[in-house]
């Protein structure tokens, strides 16, 4: 995925992002619970801080840690800085594939960000370089199969405009991580079904978070007729008692640097 396109998309969505952050919050809470219990980290690098949803959880859990919080979008970093106060916080507008910290850290972590980075080999190799020996990488990744309902309907409604989603598979992520010389300690894969009030509200949420515009292969605009057909089918086939459902597939992983 093109980093410049991703930067533009998320920067444009910085002000509206938090109006639809239920799934990001739920996934971030899972990742906080996935971190080792009763362990403190002297220094932490957070990649892809966004508006600070996961950042705030890190500050609350590790108040004594120095936290480097990074995002490729300056607007996202500015939004996060507005509502997070921590005396040992360092904000960085950087590409996680290229960042070089002033010190090694004992934890690299990030929620719902790794799947936007390509190539993963470069990302994991650079994160390895930022870690102390025995330092840990603990992240989650959205996998192929996320938003499967939407992608299936897009394929049916406008097959000539459909391209396969570019999210990585579990095997691709683990293969790239293994190649970085980080030793995998723990892997969990979960499926989360998020409910939205309606299909239009769901599509608006994707749009206002920048997701609809930064996924290559999904940026072709639908006609009004195609969009209406998609919305009607979504509400017919994926309705719930509370609205409509969308599925997210999440990989949670923990790895350690050896040497």
pLDDT value of position 6: 47
CB 107 within 8 A of CB 32: no
Rounded alpha-carbon distances, angstroms, from residue 207 to 96, 197, 218: 24, 15, 12
Burial class from Cβ neighbours inside 10 Å (0-12, 13-18, 19+) for residue 8 reads middle
> CB under 8 Å to 156, separation ≥6 — which residues?
233
Q: Dump pLDDT digits (tens) for 61-94.
A: 999 999 999 999 999 899 999 989 889 999 999 9
Domain ranges of the chain: 3-257
Structure tokens at 153: 């309907």
Question: What is residue 83's predicted lDDT score, i.e. its pLDDT?
Answer: 87
CA distances in angstroms from 227 to 80, 216, 230, 235, listed in the order given:
34, 19, 5, 12
Write the CA distances from 241 to 19, 150, 195, 200, 245, integer angstroms: 22, 19, 9, 16, 10
CATH architecture of 3-257: 3-Layer(aba) Sandwich (3.40)
Q: Does a cis peptide bond (omega within 30 degrees of 0) precede residue 84?
A: no
Predicted confidence at residue 168, as pLDDT, reads 94
CA 163, CA 209: separation in Å to the nearest integer?
21
Going by the DSSP 8-state scheme, the letter that residue 143 receives in this structure is P
Contact between 72 and 49 under an 8 Å Cβ cutoff? The reply is no
Torsion 169-19-68-74 (CA) sign:
positive
Rounded CA-CA distance 123/177 in Å is: 9
Kindly report, residue by residue over 23-36, the tens digit of the pLDDT.
Answer: 899 999 999 999 98
pTM here?
0.89
In eight-state DSSP terms, residue 115 is G
| CB distance 192 to 23 below 8 Å | yes
| Alpha helix stretches (DSSP H) within the chain | 3-12, 22-34, 53-61, 74-83, 120-130, 148-157, 170-179, 199-208, 211-214, 224-237
Nearest to 78 by CA among 132, 10, 25: 10
Regions of the chain where pLDDT drops below 70: 1-20, 165, 209-220, 259
Strand, helix or coil at 48? coil
The answer to whether the CB of 200 falls within 8 A of the CB of 231 is yes
Q: Give the 3-state secondary structure of residue 76.
A: helix
Q: What pLDDT shows up at residue 13? A: 44
> Quick one: pLDDT at residue 218?
47
């Amino acid at each position: 995925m093109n980093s410049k396109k991703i930067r533009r998309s998320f920067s444009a969505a910085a002000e509206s992002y938090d109006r639809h952050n239920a799934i990001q919050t739920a996934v971030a809470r899972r990742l906080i619970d996935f971190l080792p219990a009763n362990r403190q980290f002297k220094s932490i690098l957070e990649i892809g801080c966004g508006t600070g949803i996961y950042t705030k959880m890190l500050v609350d859990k590790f108040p004594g840690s120095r936290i480097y919080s990074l995002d490729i979008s300056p607007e996202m970093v500015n939004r996060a800085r507005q509502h997070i106060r921590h005396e040992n916080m360092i904000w960085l507008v950087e590409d996680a594939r290229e960042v070089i910290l002033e010190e090694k850290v004992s934890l690299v972590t990030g929620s719902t960000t790794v799947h936007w980075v390509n190539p993963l080999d470069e990302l994991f190799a650079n994160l390895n370089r930022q870690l102390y020996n025995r330092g840990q990488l603990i992240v989650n990744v959205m996998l192929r199969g996320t938003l499967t309902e939407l992608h299936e309907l897009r394929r049916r409604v406008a097959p000539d405009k459909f391209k396969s989603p570019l999210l990585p598979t579990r095997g691709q992520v683990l293969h790239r991580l293994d190649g970085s010389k980080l030793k995998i300690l723990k892997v969990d894969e979960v499926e989360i079904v998020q409910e939205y009030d309606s299909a239009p509200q769901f599509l608006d949420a994707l749009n206002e978070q920048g997701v609809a515009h930064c996924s290559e292969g999904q940026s072709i605009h639908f006609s009004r007729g195609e969009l209406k057909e998609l919305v009607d089918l979504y509400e017919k086939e994926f309705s719930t008692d509370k609205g409509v459902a969308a599925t997210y597939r999440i990989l949670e992983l923990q790895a350690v640097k050896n040497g």
